[in-house]
Copies of this chain bind each other. A is one copy, B any other.
Amino acid sequence: MDFYEKTEKESIIYQGKIIKVKELDIKLPNGLMGKREIVEHPGAVAILTTTKDGKIVLIKQFRKACEEILWEIPAGKLEKGEAPLDCAKRELKEETGYTARNWALLGKFYTSPGFCNELIYIYLASNLIAGEAILDEDENLEQYLLDSSQIDNLIENGHIKDMKTITALLFFKQLQSKDKGD
């Protein structure tokens, strides 16, 4: 099947510091015209950080877009030209103080492909060395080390409301159950 939507006209609506907003006139495969509202985003990383005794680092922070405090794994946006793994190491250090000796990519996913090109790289970081966090002056967060029963509790009670975080936690549970040999 021919799926391609050809851009016939592009209007830049907004160039912010983080996002860029465009309106596109597109030509559909059936010849009809359509409109698309698009948000461009630099991409991001998120880090499932696990200690030797199987605890996971979660942070609590206020998210203005949602007007609520969320439980999340450490995460941050890619800087211009930055490789995702470098970004993950930088963000983990800045937000939590941890550095990690072992890194593995769990996957990369579009957060909301219906209108936005944000691609998020989810890493597993282990073999940790604790250190001092270096927060931006507009970052305000609390750090927690939770064991797997506490994590299960948060998931079962619907307290994990951030999709990158639930994705990473479900991947981790799956890895753990594989390690146990089921």
* Interface set of A (CB-CB < 8 Å, partner B): 1, 3-5, 7, 13-14, 16-19, 21, 23-24, 26, 28-30, 32, 34-39, 41, 44, 60-67, 69-70, 72, 75, 77, 107-120, 137-138, 140, 142, 158, 160-164, 166-167, 170-171, 173-174, 177, 182
Contacts and interface: CB of A to CB of B under 8 A. Distances in A.
Nearest to A26: B64
B65 A116 contact: yes
B65 A38 contact: yes
The interface centre, meaning the residue of A65, A72, A110, A173 with most chain B CB atoms within 10 A of its CB, is: A65
A111 to B, nearest CB: 4
A171 B155 CA distance: 11
A36 B24 contact: no
Secondary structure dominating the interface of A: mixed
B13 A63 contact: no
Contacts of A75: 114
Number of copies of this protein chain within its complex: 2
Given A63-B110, A65-B38, A1 B142 contact: yes
A182 to B, nearest CB: 4
Given A28-B140, A109-B160, A173-B174, 20 more contacts: A3-B69, A3-B140, A16-B37, A17-B37, A19-B37, A19-B115, A28-B137, A65-B114, A72-B113, A107-B158, A107-B166, A110-B163, A112-B116, A113-B161, A113-B162, A119-B161, A163-B163, A166-B167, A170-B174, A177-B177
Contacts of A14: 13-14, 21
